């Protein structure tokens, strides 16, 4: 139990700075910065909207811990669905810290091109799923309280003081921290068992499946996951990329934070689509590398 | 109909949201003061975590001072929510940990580090050293993962430091290897062919000098012991992939 307590607390304090930063950034954007004008100019057309949202990951960086409160606020300000979903899925991978760590981890291995494969894969996933979700009615997609908050003209308002900004940031922080704490606890429980090492690698693509399970359970921050992927020698490069594509989009702790944004059905669709796409991309990558 | 609260309940409800923020910040500062923070995470994150602790305490105080426009939820559900938010702190109070707890992780052999060859870190200049070299264990394993590099090391005498693990044949040197935080810690285990000092217990730190040998299909690194002695634990017990 003491091991679980130690893992739980270490995971919690590891992500806490990003939760605080994300909540503060989200609240400042909502109440102090006039993004509404720009957000309303983002193309409503699904492909262009999704592409713009995904590319925003480079210039409006956020890791997976703070992307959800930020997207929550951006969506409430009028960000189109295609762009919001694409940003949600792309930003944790495309943020500068994650890209630097990916480059560092793979630059001295035979897979120095891993950073490009990771970026391309992330763009395909985020733009594809962003376009898919833009076809769904908004009231089927987003949580009800988020839809009630949606009023682009109301933000920013001169009525918002710095006190309101702090109150909003703290409300966001406290809301998301509950889910994050549950996720950290589950991850700590699993990290303390020997379930993962006994999973055998015996079938084709089994290493990809194993790495995807590992990415989901370990819930490692996208700023550090590349070092873990590069250090595991018993799996193929395609399986390592599956780990790097999936982790920032879907892991145990995020399973408890996505419901803050999405309703149950679109969340299940997201999980299914992400898993199928990553599995397919990993298979194609494996075939392509084998044929070279 | 809008619910009316007594002034006392109203004050309690204003206080409650600050508890978790100040509690989290205080917990991190306590870890720092008691040297527990270096056990929990990579040194690269210490400054960020400490800055966050102070920001949380400041935000908690501001939350007390600044009147909120948010309507208060029911007191009982607010208390339940706060207990959940404070669960990391409550866990630490109920199940505290210390360096001994971290040391016990060396026994987790199911989480053993598997290195992959890294040519950029294959610096073997130390093998020409006139004194007995003490190579970085991570770099040594990275080099040893390459069959072509192994033969350069075979038969060289090196010195290593680590924690004692008993074994059926000889004994083992174990080190904890961290990527990011203690939850992703793995063990590095090297077999030692020799006899440990009689007073050595599991988890004790020792310094060993020995000859590099590769056993099995010439894949497993084993140290043929020449000398061994007990040493005090180092200031930082972890090995890191990147400093």
The reply to whether A271 touches chain B by the CB within 8 Å rule is no
The reply to whether A200 touches chain B by the CB within 8 Å rule is no
More confident: B240 or A154 = B240
Please report where in the chains the tokens 């949202």 appear, as a residue.
A53
Chain A residue numbers touching B55 (CB-CB < 8 A): 20
Q: What is the pLDDT of residue B120?
A: 60
The reply to whether A282 touches chain B by the CB within 8 Å rule is no
Euclidean distance between CA atoms B208 and B197, whole angstroms? 11
Could you tell me whether strands B157-166 and B171-178 are parallel, antiparallel, or unpaired per DSSP bridges? antiparallel
- Max mean pLDDT among A105-109, A218-222, B79-83, B229-233 falls in B229-233
What separation in angstroms does the CA of B53 have from each of A20, A171, B28, B56?
A: 10, 18, 6, 5
Q: What is the pLDDT of residue B28?
A: 94
Euclidean distance between CA atoms A281 and A279, whole angstroms? 6
Model confidence band, residue A200 (pLDDT cutoffs 50, 70, 90): very low
A166 and B62 within 8 Å at the Cβ level: the answer is yes
- Comparing A115-119, B123-127, B131-135, B219-223, which segment has the lowest mean pLDDT? B123-127
Euclidean distance between CA atoms B27 and B49, whole angstroms? 11
CB-side neighbour CA atoms (13 Å) of A231: 25
Euclidean distance between CA atoms B92 and B40, whole angstroms? 13
Alpha helices by DSSP H, A32-137 = 36-39, 46-59, 64-76, 81-94, 96-106, 114-134
Nearest chain B alpha carbon to A165: B68
Q: Does residue A189 register a pLDDT over 80?
A: no
The reply to whether B243 touches chain A by the CB within 8 Å rule is no
> pLDDT digit string (tens) for B35-44?
888 888 888 7
Q: Which residues of B38-61 are buried (b: 16+ CB within 10 A; e: fewer)?
A: bbbbbeebbeebbebbebbbebbe
Nearest chain A alpha carbon to B28: A13
Q: How close B226 gets to chain A, by Cα (Å)?
A: 31
Nearest chain B alpha carbon to A20: B52
Please report where in the chains the tokens 């679109």 appear, as a residue.
A266
What separation in angstroms does the CA of A164 have from each of B47, B68, B242?
A: 28, 7, 41
> pLDDT digit string (tens) for A113-124?
889 999 999 999
The residues near B43 (Cβ < 8 Å, ≥ 6 apart) are B236, B240, B243
Q: What is the pLDDT of residue B166?
A: 85
Length of chain B: 243
> pLDDT digit string (tens) for A234-288?
678 888 899 899 988 888 878 888 887 888 888 999 999 999 999 999 999 988 8
Q: What is the pLDDT of residue A284?
A: 92
Could you tell me whether strands B238-240 and B171-178 are parallel, antiparallel, or unpaired per DSSP bridges? parallel
Task: Compute how many other C-beta atoms are within 10 angstroms of the C-beta atom of residue B229.
Answer: 10
Chain B residue numbers touching A104 (CB-CB < 8 A): 242
Q: How close B93 gets to chain A, by Cα (Å)?
A: 10
Please report where in the chains the tokens 């607010």 appear, as a residue.
B78
Q: What is the pLDDT of residue A271?
A: 92
Which site among A2, A3, A6, A7 would you substitute to test the B interface, given the most B Cβ atoms closer than 10 Å to its Cβ?
Answer: A6
Q: What is the pLDDT of residue A156?
A: 46
Cβ atoms of A50 and A82 closer than 8 Å: yes
Task: Compute how many other C-beta atoms are within 10 angstroms of the C-beta atom of residue B231.
Answer: 12
What separation in angstroms does the CA of B45 have from each of A3, A97, A244, B50, B51?
A: 21, 13, 21, 9, 10
> pLDDT digit string (tens) for B206-238?
898 888 887 766 667 788 888 888 888 888 888
Model confidence band, residue B113 (pLDDT cutoffs 50, 70, 90): low
Nearest alpha-carbon partner for A64 in A23, A92, A86, A25 = A92
B110 and A13 within 8 Å at the Cβ level: the answer is no
The reply to whether B113 touches chain A by the CB within 8 Å rule is yes
Q: What is the pLDDT of residue A122?
A: 94
Q: What is the pLDDT of residue B149?
A: 75
Euclidean distance between CA atoms B178 and B44, whole angstroms? 12
The reply to whether A6 touches chain B by the CB within 8 Å rule is yes
Q: Which of A7, A108, A234 sits opposite B183 (nearest CB)?
A: A7
Alpha helices by DSSP H, chain B = 7-33, 37-40, 46-65, 75-85, 87-94, 99-103, 137-144, 147-153
Chain A residue numbers touching B182 (CB-CB < 8 A): 6-7, 10
Nearest alpha-carbon partner for A78 in A46, A39, A116, A114 = A39
More confident: B164 or A218 = B164
The reply to whether B93 touches chain A by the CB within 8 Å rule is no
Contacts with B, A 135-164, CB within 8 Å: 163-164
Which tokens is B196 given? Answer: 């440990």
Which tokens is B221 given? Answer: 């690194």
Chain A residue numbers touching B21 (CB-CB < 8 A): 170, 173
Residue A84's SS3 state is helix
Q: How close B193 gets to chain A, by Cα (Å)?
A: 26
Which site among A1, A5, A105, A192 would you substitute to test the B interface, given the most B Cβ atoms closer than 10 Å to its Cβ?
Answer: A5
Euclidean distance between CA atoms B89 and B109, whole angstroms? 29
Contacts with B, A 50-89, CB within 8 Å: none
> pLDDT over 90 for what percent of chain B?
8
The reply to whether A20 touches chain B by the CB within 8 Å rule is yes
A-B C-beta contacts closer than 8 Å: 144
Nearest chain A alpha carbon to B38: A10
Q: What is the pLDDT of residue A110?
A: 66
Which tokens is B9 given? Answer: 């309940």
Q: Give B109's DSSP letter.
A: T
Task: Compute how many other C-beta atoms are within 10 angstroms of the C-beta atom of residue B66.
Answer: 18
Please state the pTM of the whole predicted model: 0.73
Residue by residue, DSSP assigns A157-184 as: -TT--HHHHHHHHHHHHHHHHHHHHHHH
Nearest alpha-carbon partner for A190 in B183, B100, B86 = B183
**Average pLDDT in chain B:** 79
Q: How close B152 gets to chain A, by Cα (Å)?
A: 21
- Comparing A174-183, B115-124, B205-214, which segment has the lowest mean pLDDT? B115-124
Taking CA B241 as the corner, what is the angle to CA B236 and CA B243, rounded to the nearest 5 degrees? Answer: 60
The residues near A218 (Cβ < 8 Å, ≥ 6 apart) are A187, A191, A228, A247, A251, B184
């Amino acid at each position: 139990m003491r091991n679980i307590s130690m893992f739980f607390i270490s995971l919690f304090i590891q992500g806490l700075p990003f939760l605080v930063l994300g909540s503060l950034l989200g609240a400042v954007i909502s109440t102090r910065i006039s993004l509404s004008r720009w957000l309303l100019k983002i193309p409503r057309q699904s492909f262009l909207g999704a592409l713009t949202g995904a590319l925003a990951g480079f210039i409006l960086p956020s890791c997976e811990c703070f992307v959800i409160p930020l997207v929550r606020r951006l969506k409430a300000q009028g960000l189109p669905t295609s762009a919001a979903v694409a940003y949600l899925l792309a930003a944790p991978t495309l943020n500068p810290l994650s890209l630097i760590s990916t480059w560092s981890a793979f630059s001295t291995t035979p897979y120095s091109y891993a950073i490009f494969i990771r970026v391309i894969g992330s763009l395909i996933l985020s733009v594809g799923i962003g376009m898919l979700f833009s076809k769904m009615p908004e009231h089927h997609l987003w949580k009800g309280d988020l839809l009630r908050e949606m009023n682009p003209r109301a933000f920013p308002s001169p009525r918002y003081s710095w006190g309101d900004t702090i109150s909003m940031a703290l409300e966001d922080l406290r809301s998301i921290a509950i889910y994050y704490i549950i996720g950290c606890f589950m991850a700590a429980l699993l990290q303390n068992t020997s379930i993962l090492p006994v999973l055998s690698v015996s079938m084709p693509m089994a290493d990809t499946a194993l790495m995807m399970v590992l990415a989901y359970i370990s819930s490692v921050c996208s700023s550090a996951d590349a070092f873990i992927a590069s250090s595991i020698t018993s799996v193929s490069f395609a399986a390592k990329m599956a780990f790097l594509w999936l982790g920032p989009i879907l892991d145990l702790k995020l399973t408890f934070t996505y419901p803050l944004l999405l309703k149950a059905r679109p969340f299940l669709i997201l999980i299914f689509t992400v898993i199928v796409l990553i599995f397919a991309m990993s298979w194609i990558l494996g075939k392509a590398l084998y044929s070279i | 109909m809008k619910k009316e609260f007594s002034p006392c309940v109203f004050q309690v409800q204003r206080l409650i949201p600050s508890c978790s923020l100040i509690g989290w910040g205080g917990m991190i500062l306590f870890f720092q003061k008691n040297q527990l923070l270096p056990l929990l995470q990579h040194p690269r994150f210490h400054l960020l975590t400490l800055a966050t602790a102070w920001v949380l305490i400041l935000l908690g105080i501001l939350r007390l001072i600044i009147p909120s426009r948010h309507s208060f939820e029911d007191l009982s559900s607010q208390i339940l929510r706060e207990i959940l938010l404070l669960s990391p702190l409550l866990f630490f109070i109920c199940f505290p940990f210390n360096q001994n707890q971290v040391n016990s992780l060396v026994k987790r052999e199911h989480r053993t580090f598997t290195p992959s060859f890294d040519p950029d870190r294959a610096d073997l200049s130390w093998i020409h050293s006139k004194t007995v070299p003490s190579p970085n264990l991570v770099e040594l394993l990275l080099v040893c993962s390459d069959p072509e590099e192994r033969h350069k090391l075979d038969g060289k005498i090196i010195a290593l430091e680590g924690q004692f693990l008993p074994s059926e044949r000889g004994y083992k040197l174990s080190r904890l290897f961290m990527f990011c935080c203690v939850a992703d810690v793995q063990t590095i285990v090297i077999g030692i062919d020799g006899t440990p000092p009689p007073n050595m217990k599991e988890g004790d730190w020792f310094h060993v000098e020995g000859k590099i040998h590769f056993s099995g299909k010439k894949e497993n690194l084993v140290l043929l012991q020449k000398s061994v002695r007990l040493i005090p634990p180092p200031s930082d017990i972890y090995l890191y992939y990147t400093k």
